[in-house]
Amino acid sequence: MSDRLWDFAETAYNEHESVELQIRELEKNGFRVTRNAAGIPTAFIAEAGSEGPIIGFLGEYDALPQLSQEDGKTARAQKVMGGNGHGCGHNILGGAALLSAFAVKDWLLSTGRSGRVRYYGCPAEEGGAGKVFMARGGTFNDLDAALTWHPASILAIDAMSTLATIHARFTFSGVAAHAAAAPHLGRSALDAVTLMSVAANYLREHIPSDARLHYAIHDTGGIAPNVVQAKAEVVYQLRAPDLGVVLSIMERLRKIAEGAAMMSGTSMAYRVEKAMSNMRPSTVLSELMYGRMQALGPTPFDDEDRAFAKRMKAAISPEEAKASLEIFGAQRLSGVLHEGVLPAEVMPSILSASTDVGDVSWVVPTARCLGACFALGTPFHSWQLVAQGKASIAHKGMVHTAKIMAATAAALFVDPKTLDRAKEEFRQQSAVGAYKCPIPDDVAPPVIKPAPRPQGTLRGAFPTQYAGANP
């Protein structure tokens, strides 16, 4: 299944065939499926079991644009020109979460224990904030615990926090005019964007040192310099370790935009498009998962895996490999594969990235880990990672991590006291700050145009309209 997801390589909110493939497999294995979770066509929930605690596994399956790559190749070779690729390993992320759900469902049946297991089909992690919209829709509200992971080149418990982030679009509207004959009649929207940019640069000095302010101009109003631009648009992204800080900076930025509109004589429209909360990991669940990881030990690679990883690592610069390991405090690791368990104490407390899993962690106790699936030091969002997505090392890392997550869930069903401690810890966290979705209620998931895909091959081999057919 993970190989088929790799082939589909569908991007945010376009994962229709990936969803159909998983749903058919889940229904075949006795899961009850709810489609269109939170009103999102490519989100779904599958459940098995009855009564008792509900443990959920979070699956992802979206790819990245412009990262198409032939599998197993050690040089850049696009499979589809301008196409997509699984540059973050979400094909195996979803595969392991599904495998864990299947295993726990079978275990509950064989032991006669009460309890429910859920698989969450979560779209659009890459820039689409899928889980945030699902959290806003209440899909995680009745969960007792959520477990997930992320493919990487190391095996480690991931109890790091992440950066909260928010994206907002600022659209300025002015008046067009001939820039030579009647400039006094024009009101330049491009001037407003420029003024906002200047003021935002001054703002950077007066925000916390661990906050980040990014921007991209989406519309300059045209290419003719002799026309006063009547419309211009800029998108800003803010990041900080705490969502409250992000929201306070965004409010200051909004006032800057209002000032730029006043100075240029234009009008301004402001709209939050997506946002993600910082991760709030469960210490109790993370310790439990880490214990299961230590008990199961390293991923069982063999000589053939090492030979393949050696070839792939040769295609990665030492600087890239070092940087990709440094973000996890693992820069001292050597070799071509990680054949151990990274000590929990070397992991940093915060990851300089954002994920929509953060919003789930504000709704329910959440734990996640990293699985060793790629050559050591493989950077995320790279063609080198795409090239390894169907390899034996990816499959073994996926299965090994699925065992860790399934064993963690089983331990929670066996020992309800651990689950109670996780809930109590969560209640204490919530007393400090309860969850408020950072995306306004009137903002819907974005519509993102799909990238080119092969015609008559993947789509022809597995058309969505043949729901129920054998994949």
pLDDT in tens, 251-301: 999 999 999 999 999 999 999 999 999 999 999 999 999 999 999 999 999
**Domain pair 2-162+279-461 / 164-276, same fold:** no
Q: What mean pLDDT do residues 86-90 have?
A: 98
- ∠ at Cα 426 (420, 432), nearest 5°? 145
How confident is residue 447, by pLDDT bands cut at 50, 70 and 90?
confident
How confident is residue 145, by pLDDT bands cut at 50, 70 and 90?
very high
How confident is residue 448, by pLDDT bands cut at 50, 70 and 90?
confident
Place of tokens 């499926």: 33
Structure confidence at residue 257 (pLDDT): 98
How confident is residue 426, by pLDDT bands cut at 50, 70 and 90?
very high
Question: How does pLDDT run across 338-387, given as a tens digit for each residue?
Answer: 999 999 999 999 998 999 999 999 999 999 999 999 999 999 999 999 99
Residue 170 reports pLDDT greater than 80: yes
Residue from 92, 124, 131 nearest 5 by CA: 92
The hierarchical CATH code for the domain 2-162+279-461 is 3.40.630.10
Query: 328 burial class (0-12, 13-18, 19+ CB within 10 angstroms)?
Result: buried
Where in 128-266 does DSSP place strands (E)? 145-152, 156-158, 164-173, 212-219, 231-240
Average pLDDT, the chain: 94
Query: 307 burial class (0-12, 13-18, 19+ CB within 10 angstroms)?
Result: exposed
Query: Reduced to 3 states, what is the DSSP secondary structure of residue 151?
Result: strand
Q: What mean pLDDT do residues 412-434 have?
A: 94
Higher per-residue confidence, 135 vs 127? 135
DSSP string, 319-387: HHHHHHHHTTT-TT--SSS--S---GGGS-SB-SS--THHHHHTTS-EEEEEEE-SSTTPPTTSHHHHH
Query: Reduced to 3 states, what is the DSSP secondary structure of residue 286?
Result: helix
Structure confidence at residue 453 (pLDDT): 61
Higher per-residue confidence, 446 vs 306? 306
Structure confidence at residue 461 (pLDDT): 40
Structure confidence at residue 50 (pLDDT): 87
**Predicted structure pTM score:** 0.92
Q: What mean pLDDT do residues 102-130 have?
A: 96
- Domain limits, the chain: 2-162+279-461, 164-276
Structure confidence at residue 431 (pLDDT): 87
The CATH architecture to which 164-276 belongs is: 2-Layer Sandwich (3.30)
Residue 462 reports pLDDT greater than 70: no
**Whole-angstrom Cα distance, residue 382 to residue 125?**
16
Q: What mean pLDDT do residues 376-400 have?
A: 98
Higher per-residue confidence, 396 vs 459? 396
How confident is residue 434, by pLDDT bands cut at 50, 70 and 90?
confident
Structure confidence at residue 123 (pLDDT): 98
Structure confidence at residue 432 (pLDDT): 83
Report residue 315 as tokens.
């295609």
Q: What mean pLDDT do residues 389-411 have?
A: 98
How confident is residue 449, by pLDDT bands cut at 50, 70 and 90?
confident
